[in-house]
Structure 1
């Protein structure tokens, strides 16, 4: 049971990112990511994204560095890979399951209830928004316009009320949504 990481080469958020995977299970992956100090929000269906400046921490946690193609081969052999053509459907299934656990309908385009995983980036669409909240003092709302801000505030009020009704002190998660074309 080993965790593997590839060479960071994806630019985003002012740094370069790589991928961390397990060849055995998601449970092993989550435990290893925690040991290496990665945020649970860095999880993306079958891997964790990690910034280049954490390489030493990963190596210190016993992660084996491999090339990008080898990492893909290991992930495919593990049976954990979510292929690119299935990722949108996997996100939709995750969103539906998390929304159902919370009692939320309709289901936003991308929805996470809990501390692990991240929603899709904010699309450039009128009325689009993205919400992230890991504790009430760390609420982040992104929107391009007033309708997006209003929709974000309305969804946040709904999910927070549903989480409180389920016995939680607040809603923890991420959501991204935008009006659907008519």
Structure 2
């Protein structure tokens, strides 16, 4: 059995980097404790990674073995490079479309997983008291909607920043190594 150690190391690096960035953004945007923001970031990112790898292996398993995308993916995972002049079938548009869809799907998964974890009381809604003090006349449902909207906004900002930094690291890795 061959292990893609480079891919595993990069995944671990990116998880730690993403958790650090997103927990900082969540802490500052939502004005909650660092511990709770770290719990939020760790939970949503681990759920997102697990779901992402399950989807990746499901799609990858159903590809045709002679498919250019499958060959290029295996090459990139094990060597960190795409095969140059392999077929010239235009893998770049597929790669860009895949990256954009991964960005939005992972953002959706993060927002929904935080909401679900809070609904099942697995994660606390720490900043709920801030809204209840200010808005006595509003119903609990509207307060929860506003909390969710603020949380989604904070997750979106952290997600965008972390993906931008990961993209820069990947560009440096491609050009330097």
Q: TM-score, normalised by structure 1?
A: 0.24
In terms of fraction of residues, the more strand-rich structure is 1
Larger Rg: 2
Q: TM-score, normalised by structure 2?
A: 0.24
